[in-house]
Structure 1
């Protein structure tokens, strides 16, 4: 790929439009990093520290475990874990022997997990003891041959272990304890069996867009996207930074942007098993990461936490935001705590997932998600044919081309053909580029509300209402209407200690929106449905409304 684009002029100093990639797969990169920074902390888990030398050795041990369980090159190993050391060890062990990891959300129901495990052809499941009953049901109804049980306390400091006593369970054939298996193996080096073009991971889309599909990411996708993101921060130094791992690793943002990025750069990964404000404050206070990632809802929760607001942030070099651009008021409050860069990133599972980011040390344009990363091309096409490229400032569907674009959807050639056309990934997201190449997200194509023939973007209404001092969170959807086709309904979560009426919402909108965009229906609720990374599930609200009307 060789090209010049308008966004290249907005790049950080020292960052070129293209990356010269090191064609090394992530398990080999881990070994290289262990050689460069052997005594650097790779993982910190609530106080327990694992160095890069130790992590590489643990990966070798578990690689032998998987081989002893019959896992061969190309086999699928499913992860059902929060951010604990075992997930990193098991993933990189799977990579090392040429297997593919299948990432699963521990909050999913048995039905959802059975679908993903069957669809992915997973042979082994790595999970927590507290999920044992469900794991046994899954083993009986899927192709699983082995279940490996981890305990939260396995890597906790001794003082914290009594808070998480092990869950006892009946020993059965094909069921094993993680630590028993690990301790029985040698940590001598294991030869890398991962090929550059092999599928290294199946990451399931879902939670916000409907039925889950397994996104096939090759080792080339994984390594290159991690390198693209690392290249974006030229002044941050290898072996010297720390990142608070708020994003879960079973989600592509945490997987590439935190876990893999840290391993590439020799940074310390401070694991957050459950991203609650008090836990985050404790980890910030004690381990002082350079980078604090979070989705807008995480930042809102932290800003409402008095302990967070009183922290000394002298150690912090940047806030990093994903899932959606931060509201103007949230940005102001974060900047008041520490005036460091706020880096908005945007992407999707199908691109591993990093596509754009705010330039490091560059212009932070409020409401945008930055510019395309190096070696990434982007175009905006019309919503009807998908063939006409739009001018700057004109809205259309966002399309990506680059080394991070997926191989396709697992066992779904028809859906792959719809999403991938001539090397371009059609995202289903609507946005526009400005004259400097900054991307603004408008909405999902599927979220568009058409009322009386007018196109209404719910995100525009949400962002407006987030400016109201009484509003903590908001989500707008379209609901069926006999007269207008669809009408606008807004769900509002009011800030603690405040009261608000529907008339206040309507009056605020009428002053600032065209009449057809003003919500006709307003509901006040205690909390919005969210994914595990804190992304608001607009589709779930729509489904609730459809059930009510049915």
Structure 2
């Protein structure tokens, strides 16, 4: 099989050529060989082409970490189409926005999401197909497994340009409307190869696939890196500390990548010291800041090392890392990785001195092409080739970077970015609400929790329970406020801007 390096799908193709009998995926007690995954992916790619999916077509992928996710992901790429991963917790309203914004031609989801998918698909003129994975799939949609069974494998990988968009990852903005970061085949391949070298990943590794593949960190550092290295992926569809600890012990996991919430929950899980962690060579943390005391306690309890990283959707995941076999600085996200430059600048764009706080700006071989159909938004954050992250931090005397704050009021909960403006827009649409503000408050396990500060219209009544139900019906679970407090009036500046710092200080 001839391979060109431009298409990201060739990561899987090369894996199969190297060792078709190698176990690629482990799910519970089931092991799936590389050749089985590749054959199914080729069959699904053939099916996609037959139903009219063309080069550049955008396909929403709403599946948990699973063999089916990997099959679909690489099949879409092999067909020359674009993967648009979506959080499995999104509701119909949120899915509809993504599908409309990227003009999706198809959506792939599990049977458990079919009601949301059908509701989200209403009134969309570009959508042609709903492909549902699982049992008891109704006849008015396409059946994922049946498409694979009924088509012959097509091993032809589309010859794309290295600068063609491979994946669109949606990241919300301060306006509350998610923006699609276009990531190229070249950026994703380059970042995966960099991670392979950085992690010293190898074919005998078993990597725990618990970070969601719809997230930049999970997609690049776990899935693409693991497959690129020829390693095995131990897949878990969602995080539960007992399941993670059991999988590590049972399957002799060698690399565990997680976020601080996962490390915290595993550390405090009852009898966690009874689980064998000795197979783990090291852990990698990303998604949000890892507290030094949590790192120290976890490393002491499980006799392992956590290497902290930093990156964003727009940088195709990793931008900085605490490199192996180098000194680590407590609370630091390390130093720039190969292919990445980071500066710390003031408001005028001038470099600040070591130890002084400024905004981190990034120039990278793995930077996004831009935000889909949003040239103005792209120009606001990418200036002269430098991406302005909105993260505030400093470099110490040894060049190690430290993140201390954000320019925006974004909340990071369990590694997920939550943008208050999106939730505030929904709350203000409630007929009983006059004003609303969303703030993040510190939480030891989640990193931050979400609090809604509400002013009700005069003469109206609204309970916290009713408002919580309103949110749960319309928002992904991780975006729903955990705390709701009612106010007579929210503090404002002379210009009428809500003073969120005052709300935080009083919480």
Q: TM-score range by the shorter chain?
A: 0.7 to 0.9
Match of 1:443 among 405, 411, 421: 405
What is the match of residue 67 of structure 1? 49
What is the match of residue 203 of structure 1? 169
What is the match of residue 113 of structure 1? 95
Aligned-residue offset at 1:284: 1.4
Q: Does 1:212 find its partner at 2:178?
A: yes
Aligned-residue offset at 1:119: 0.3
Mapped to 2, the partners of 1:438 and 1:243 lie a distance apart of: 27
With 307-316 and 259-268 compared, the bigger mean Cα shift is at 307-316
What is the match of residue 322 of structure 1? 286
Mapped to 2, the partners of 1:41 and 1:188 lie a distance apart of: 22
Counterparts in 2 of 1:501-540, with a 5 A limit? Answer: none
What is the match of residue 360 of structure 2? 398
Q: Does 1:373 find its partner at 2:356?
A: no
Mapped to 2, the partners of 1:393 and 1:535 lie a distance apart of: 38
What is the match of residue 484 of structure 1? none
Mapped to 2, the partners of 1:170 and 1:91 lie a distance apart of: 23
Q: Does 1:308 find its partner at 2:272?
A: yes
Q: Does 1:275 find its partner at 2:239?
A: yes
Where 1:149 maps in the other structure, the secondary structure is strand
Counterparts in 2 of 1:129-208, with a 5 A limit? Answer: 129-142=111-124, 143-151=126-134, 166=135, 168=136, 170-172=138-140, 175-206=141-172
Mapped to 1, the partners of 2:336 and 2:26 lie a distance apart of: 32
Number of equivalent positions = 437
Mapped to 1, the partners of 2:219 and 2:310 lie a distance apart of: 14
Aligned-residue offset at 1:324: 2.1
Q: Which runs of 5+ in 2 are unaligned?
A: 421-438, 446-470, 491-507
Aligned-residue offset at 1:307: 4.0
Contact 1:341 1:361 in 2 (8 A): no
**Residues 392 and 493 (structure 1 numbering): CA distance in 2 closer, same or farther, change over 3 Å?**
closer
Mapped to 2, the partners of 1:86 and 1:194 lie a distance apart of: 24
Where 1:273 maps in the other structure, the secondary structure is coil
Mapped to 1, the partners of 2:294 and 2:73 lie a distance apart of: 35
TM-score by length of 2: 0.80
Where 1:220 maps in the other structure, the secondary structure is helix
Mapped to 1, the partners of 2:5 and 2:364 lie a distance apart of: 15
Q: Deviations over 1:309-353 (max 9, x none)?
A: 211211010111112232222112221233332111110000111
What is the match of residue 427 of structure 2? none
Where 2:26 maps in the other structure, the secondary structure is strand
**Residues 303 and 31 (structure 1 numbering): CA distance in 2 closer, same or farther, change over 3 Å?**
same
Aligned-residue offset at 1:150: 0.8
Mapped to 2, the partners of 1:207 and 1:418 lie a distance apart of: 12
Where 1:390 maps in the other structure, the secondary structure is coil
Mapped to 2, the partners of 1:420 and 1:548 lie a distance apart of: 41
Where 2:303 maps in the other structure, the secondary structure is coil
Mapped to 2, the partners of 1:75 and 1:27 lie a distance apart of: 16
Aligned-residue offset at 1:87: 1.1
What is the match of residue 225 of structure 1? 191
Q: Does 1:360 find its partner at 2:342?
A: no
**Residues 51 and 132 (structure 1 numbering): CA distance in 2 closer, same or farther, change over 3 Å?**
same
Contact 2:60 2:85 in 1 (8 A): yes
Superposition CA RMSD, Å: 3.0
**Residues 545 and 360 (structure 1 numbering): CA distance in 2 closer, same or farther, change over 3 Å?**
farther
With 387-396 and 336-345 compared, the bigger mean Cα shift is at 336-345
**Residues 339 and 96 (structure 1 numbering): CA distance in 2 closer, same or farther, change over 3 Å?**
same
What is the match of residue 250 of structure 1? 214
Aligned-residue offset at 1:206: 2.9
Mapped to 2, the partners of 1:546 and 1:243 lie a distance apart of: 46
Mapped to 1, the partners of 2:488 and 2:240 lie a distance apart of: 32
**Residues 490 and 48 (structure 1 numbering): CA distance in 2 closer, same or farther, change over 3 Å?**
closer
Contact 2:6 2:159 in 1 (8 A): no
**Residues 208 and 108 (structure 1 numbering): CA distance in 2 closer, same or farther, change over 3 Å?**
farther
Mapped to 1, the partners of 2:156 and 2:486 lie a distance apart of: 54
Mapped to 2, the partners of 1:229 and 1:369 lie a distance apart of: 15
What is the match of residue 26 of structure 1? 8
Q: Deviations over 1:407-435 (max 9, x none)?
A: 00000010001111111111111011112
Aligned-residue offset at 1:389: 1.2
Mapped to 2, the partners of 1:23 and 1:437 lie a distance apart of: 34
What is the match of residue 285 of structure 1? 249
Mapped to 1, the partners of 2:373 and 2:114 lie a distance apart of: 29
What is the match of residue 466 of structure 1? none
Where 1:122 maps in the other structure, the secondary structure is coil
Contact 2:162 2:185 in 1 (8 A): yes
What is the match of residue 456 of structure 2? none
Aligned-residue offset at 1:194: 3.0
What is the match of residue 95 of structure 1? 77
TM-score by length of 1: 0.74
Mapped to 2, the partners of 1:119 and 1:226 lie a distance apart of: 28
Mapped to 1, the partners of 2:159 and 2:36 lie a distance apart of: 21
Q: Deviations over 1:385-425 (max 9, x none)?
A: 2x211121111111111111100000001000111111111
Mapped to 1, the partners of 2:303 and 2:216 lie a distance apart of: 28
